[in-house]
Structure 1
């Protein structure tokens, strides 16, 4: 669910930022659509690549350290056994009970390595597929990132021959209202993943998304004034 949430947040925030910059610069509805859709495809793909590489790197790192632990269990068993004893002694085990715990864990090589990975290195294997993570990120980015563009898309289909007569600023405020609802929904989902209160998750996403959009709108407005005068 994490990939879905963060992909959705990035998709809605970045796409609405692009729409805001275009609206601030007074660009036409057609240009807003071109920039927004291009952002959906390019940035969505880039984020999915990042998600894939991140998961693959975590998996490779886990496997590398597991191989090291396996080698140490094979070649330095007494040292590794003593480390198991120290780990469980710190947990409060002692005497015969500690001996039995150590004997039980070290009686099975895979279990022994599992314990060392978790207790000593604090590493837990992520069994999720990097490809699945990338696909979920891309899908969420595109689906949620489409919300800021819906008003422009609907207008284009209803009035395809009159795109040049559209009122981008009016469509922008409609998109802003729709995106705000999207921010609230995705913020609620984020609260489920991060275990914070729903109000905090919704407010954080709404405020930060609105801040990004405001900065983009102002930047687009100022750049148009500056570059338009050249």
Structure 2
């Protein structure tokens, strides 16, 4: 068999071996941020107002106002965070470009040092270093990824992050407020809100654990516990202040 040729068996194995990698990490992170705060904050607010004997209509009005303000605030925070990340990448990119032009020997030595950390011997990495020196763009990409650990951000990332977090916050925030729409008596509505929100927290926590690689059951219990503590604290504080 001629060198470099792929046999039929190798082609079959390559076709059978399809790697599946989860590549929506940023979106999942934004959804987690939005939904977790959306479920917890309006839930605690509604519980606190219920503890103060507010009416269902007042709780619903205050809750919806908080959801609107929270979605805007959280979305803006996500936008600024993604924008800052992109600005940081561009600053480091320009700096690396200047260093490759101004001090190429120093940068080449850094490439050699990086490769040596992976156990590659000098006689093995010298051709790689020389090849990168002949290809400035590849050299720049290598330094950004392996020296600085930075990936090129998606130019649409800031807007996508803002919208994802805001929408996720609204969806999460509407869950604890829904019972107050249909149940006019606040004492009964708060019980339904607690049950509905705790179920939502369990489901959300399980899904979060599944997508983030942690134990789903443990994540579900932790997420639910945090929400329960927040609402209980708000309810108790309202009762204390009222007393």
Tell me whether 1:217 sits opposite 2:229 in the alignment. no
Tell me whether 1:150 sits opposite 2:178 in the alignment. yes
How many residue pairs match? The answer is: 215
Equivalents in 1 of 2:130, 2:179: separation in Å?
66
**CA displacement at 1:96 relative to structure 2:** 2.6
Matches within 5 A, 1:5-20: 5-20=32-47
Equivalents in 2 of 1:69, 1:95: separation in Å?
24
**CA displacement at 1:64 relative to structure 2:** 0.5
**CA displacement at 1:95 relative to structure 2:** 3.4
Aligned-partner SS, 2:40: helix
Equivalents in 2 of 1:39, 1:147: separation in Å?
13
The counterpart of 1:116, out of the listed 123, 143, 146, is 143
My pick for the range that moved more, 184-193 or 77-86, is: 184-193
My pick for the range that moved more, 48-57 or 215-224, is: 215-224
Equivalents in 2 of 1:153, 1:111: separation in Å?
58
Tell me whether 1:135 sits opposite 2:163 in the alignment. yes
My pick for the range that moved more, 145-154 or 97-106, is: 97-106
The counterpart of 2:188, out of the listed 160, 170, 175, is 170
Question: Which protein is richer in helix relative to its size?
Answer: 1
Q: Which residue of 1 aligns with 2:226?
A: 208
The counterpart of 1:34, out of the listed 37, 40, 61, is 61
**CA displacement at 1:107 relative to structure 2:** 2.3
Are the counterparts in 2 of residues 29 and 152 from structure 1 also a CA contact under 8 Å? yes
**CA displacement at 1:154 relative to structure 2:** 2.3
Q: Per-residue CA shift, 1:27-73, capped at 9, x if unaligned?
A: 11111001110110001110000000000001100110111001100
Question: TM-score scaled by structure 2?
Answer: 0.85
Q: Per-residue CA shift, 1:156-205, capped at 9, x if unaligned?
A: xxxxxxxxxx3211110101000011101211222134310101110110
My pick for the range that moved more, 166-175 or 40-49, is: 166-175
Tell me whether 1:102 sits opposite 2:136 in the alignment. no
Structure 1 gap ranges (5+): 156-165, 226-230
Equivalents in 2 of 1:220, 1:90: separation in Å?
58
RCO greater where, 1 or 2, for CA within 8 Å and sep 6 or more? 1
Are the counterparts in 2 of residues 2 and 193 from structure 1 also a CA contact under 8 Å? no
Equivalents in 2 of 1:145, 1:106: separation in Å?
54
Equivalents in 2 of 1:173, 1:218: separation in Å?
15
Tell me whether 1:69 sits opposite 2:96 in the alignment. yes
Change (3 A) 1:188 1:126: farther
The Cα RMSD (Å) is 1.2
